[in-house]
Amino acid sequence: MRGVIFDFIRKFKRKFRFKMSGVNRDAPIGIQCIQRLSSICCPRLQVNRLRCYQISILVMTYFTYMTYHLTRKPISVVKSVLHQNCSGLVPPDNVDPGDDQWCNWAPFNTTDANTMLGALDSAFLFTYAAAMFVSGMVAERVDLRYFLSVGMLFSAAFCYLFGIGRTYEIHNISYYLLVQAGAGVAQTTGWPGTVATVGKWFGNSKKGLIFGIWNSHTSLGNILGTLMAARFVERDWALSFVYPALVMGVVAFMVFLFLAPDPRMVGIVLPERTPPSRQSRKSIDEDEPTPSTVIVGDQAASLRPNRHSANAQPHDEATEHTALISRPAPAGAVSLSRALRIPGVLEFSFSLFFAKLVSYTFLYWLPLYINTSTHLTPKQSGDLSTVFDVGGIVGAVLAGLIADCCGCPGAVCACFYIVCAPTLLAYQSWGASSYALNVCLLVACGVLVNGPYALITTAVSAELGTHSSLAGNAHALATVTAIIDGTGSVGAALGPLLAGVVSSGGAASWPRVFYMLIACNFMALFLLLRIVKGEIMKIRLERRLASPRVVRIE
C-alpha cells in the first residue's frame, strides 16, 4: 500500500513539474502563484503578456504612491485642532477662566504655535530632501520591490507613531520632530522607486499623457488622506494617523507579493532604442539570439530559434507574440556627477524647487488658511481643501496631454507659470467672499500649480533619465528622478517653514504668504527661459526643413 502511495506522489510531482515549466522563478511570489494557477486551470489561454503586465504595473504603482501621500496629508488637517482659537468654544468646568489656550494640545498651546507647526513640516521635508539623493542612488542598486515595500512599512510605522502621541499623552516637541524626520527619510523610497518602475516598463515612448493620468495618485492620496483625517479630527485626531497607516501597511504587503519592477523578472525584454552610431558597430555575435528570455512585440516574428535552442519548448509565434533572444548585459548604475551633466537636469531641478515650494505650502497650510479666512469649522475646511487636489488631477492630465502634442514640456510649464501668478492673487483677494467663488478659484489654482509640478517630476524626469547621452542606459532613471525631486524637495521644505513664520502675525499676515508664492512662481518661470528658447528654435528649424523650397526659374 505504501509503495502505491509513493508511486502516485512521484507521478503527481512529475506532472505538476511539467505544468510549472512556464513559471519565472525570478518573479515575485504572487505572480508565480498566478502563473501556476493559470498553467493548471487555463493551459491554452493566450493573452498579451506585455499589456497585462503594463496595466498591472500602472495600477500597482498608482496605489503605492497614493498611500505615500495618504500618510503625508493628515498633519495639515490636524493642525487646526493642535492650535485653534479657544474663545469661541465652551470650556469644561475644570479649566481656569483665564487660560485662553485650554483647547490646544501641548506643546502647541503657545502664541508661536504656527512657527512650531512649521518646524514639524520642515523636519519632514528637510530630511526628505537630504535623503532623496541617497535614496535615488540606492534604488538603482537594489530590487525595487523590496525597496518600496520596506519603505512603505517604515512610513506607515512613523505615521502611526505620530498618532499615538495623543493616545499616550506625549507633549514633548522633540518626539514629534523625530517622528516627522523619520517619516521624511522613509518617504524618499516612494518617488524614485515608482517612477523608475514605470519608466522601465514603458520604454522611450511618449509618456506625457500616461504619466499625467498616473500622477493623479498624488492628488487622490491627498484627497483620501484629507477626508480620512477630517472624519476623526474633531473627535480623536490620533485616528487621523492610525487609519492611513493601516491602509499603507496593507498596500505594502500587496507590493511585496505582486510588483515586478523590471520586465526581465517575468521573462520580457522590451525593444530599446539604440543610437545609430552604436547600432552600426554591433557585431553579429551581439545580435545572435539565445533562449534565456523572451521579447514582446513585432520583432518577435522576424526572429528564428538558433542552434543553441534544441532543448527549448516549441511554441506558436503567431499567438504568443514572443521569441527567444539573448539577455543583454545589465549596464552599470549612473553616477551622480554624470546624471547632473545631462542637458536640462539642472534647469528643471531648480524650476521644480520653486514650483514644489508653492505646491507644498498649499499642501500643508491650505486647511488652516481656509479655517482662518472663513467661518468654516476645521472639518469643513479640510473637506474644502480637497478641491485644490481635484484641480491638481486635471492639471496633471492637461499638462501631460499638451506636452505630448507639442513636444515642448518646458514651454508648457512656462505657460502654466504665467497664468498661475494672477490666479493666486485672485484667490487671495476674493476667495473668502463666497463659497462658490472659493471652490472655483481653488480648482484653477490646483490646475496651474500642480500641472507643471506633475509634468517635471514624471514625464520630464523619465525622459531625462533615458537621455540619448546615456547611450540607452536606463539605470539613470532613479538617479535623475532623485536629483530633480530632491532639489524640488528642498523648496518644499522651505515653503511651509517660511509660511509658518510669515503667517505668525495672524489673519492680516496671510497676504504676505501669497506674495511670497507669486514671487516663487516667477522664479520658476525664469529658470526655464533657456529651455523654452531652445524648444522654440527647434520647432522653427523643423518647420523650415519640412517646408518645400521655392525655386524661381527665369
pLDDT tens digits for range 316-362: 433 334 333 334 434 455 566 777 777 788 899 999 999 999 998 99
Pairing of strands 322-325, 293-296: antiparallel
What lies within 8 Å, CB to CB, of 444 at 6+ separation is 391, 423, 427
Domains of the chain: 52-84+104-265+333-538 (1.20.1250.20)
Output the tens digit of pLDDT for each of the chain's 554 residues: 656 665 655 655 554 444 444 566 778 888 888 888 877 777 776 777 888 888 899 999 999 999 999 999 898 888 878 877 676 666 666 666 666 667 777 888 777 777 888 888 888 888 988 888 888 888 878 889 999 999 999 999 999 999 999 889 888 889 999 999 999 999 999 988 888 888 788 765 556 677 778 878 888 898 899 889 988 888 888 999 999 999 999 999 999 999 988 888 887 776 654 444 334 334 434 444 433 344 443 333 333 344 444 444 444 433 334 333 334 434 455 566 777 777 788 899 999 999 999 998 998 888 888 888 888 887 788 888 889 989 988 998 899 889 888 888 899 999 999 999 999 999 998 988 889 999 999 999 999 999 998 888 877 877 776 555 554 455 566 677 778 888 888 888 888 888 888 877 766 788 899 999 999 999 999 999 999 999 889 888 888 887 765 555 55
pTM above 0.85, yes or no: no
Could you report how far apart the first and last alpha carbons of the chain are, in Å? 106
Q: What share of the chain is helix, strand, coil (3-state, %, to 5)?
A: 75, 0, 25
- 390, 219 in Cβ contact below 8 A? yes
Pairing of strands 268-269, 293-296: parallel
What is the per-residue pLDDT for 19?
A: 44
Cell triple for residue 414? 512656462
DSSP letters spanning 370-402:
HHHHSS--HHHHHHHHHHHHHHHHHHHHHHHHH
H-run or E-run covering 322: strand 322-325
SS3 assignment for 442-486: HHHHHHHHHHHHHHHHHHHHHHHHCCHHHCCCHHHHHHHHHHHHH
Q: By three-state DSSP, how is residue 293 classified?
A: strand
What is the per-residue pLDDT for 480?
A: 79
H-run or E-run covering 323: strand 322-325
List the one residue out of 423, 269, 280 whose CA is nearest residue 358.
423
Other Cβ atoms within 10 Å of 171 Cβ, number: 13
Cell triple for residue 21? 515549466
What lies within 8 Å, CB to CB, of 144 at 6+ separation is 193, 196, 197, 259, 261, 262
At which residue does the C-alpha cell 516627522 appear? 180
- 124, 183 in Cβ contact below 8 A? yes
What is the per-residue pLDDT for 148?
A: 94
What lies within 8 Å, CB to CB, of 396 at 6+ separation is 212, 213, 215, 216, 218, 219, 450, 451, 454, 455, 458
**b vs e for 297-318, b when ≥16 Cβ sit within 10 Å of the residue's Cβ?**
eeebeeeebeeeeeeeeeeeee
How many whole angstroms separate alpha carbon 488 and alpha carbon 355? 7
Q: By three-state DSSP, how is residue 268 classified?
A: strand
Output DSSP code: residue 99: -
Cell triple for residue 397? 492630465
Cell triple for residue 292? 534565456
Q: Give me the half-sphere count of Cα atoms (radius 13 Å) on the Cβ side of residue 310.
A: 2
Other Cβ atoms within 10 Å of 146 Cβ, number: 14
- 147, 139 in Cβ contact below 8 A? yes
At which residue does the C-alpha cell 497650510 appear? 365
Cell triple for residue 342? 545631462
The backbone region for 321, taken as left when phi is positive above 0, alpha when psi lies in -120 to 50, beta otherwise, is: left
DSSP letters spanning 396-434:
HHHHHHHHHHHS-HHHHHHHHHHHHHHHHHHHHHHTTT-
List the one residue out of 74, 121, 123 whose CA is nearest residue 247.
74
Can you name the residues that pair with 325 across neighbouring β-strands?
Answer: 293
Can you name the residues that pair with 269 across neighbouring β-strands?
Answer: 295
- For the chain, the residue count is 554
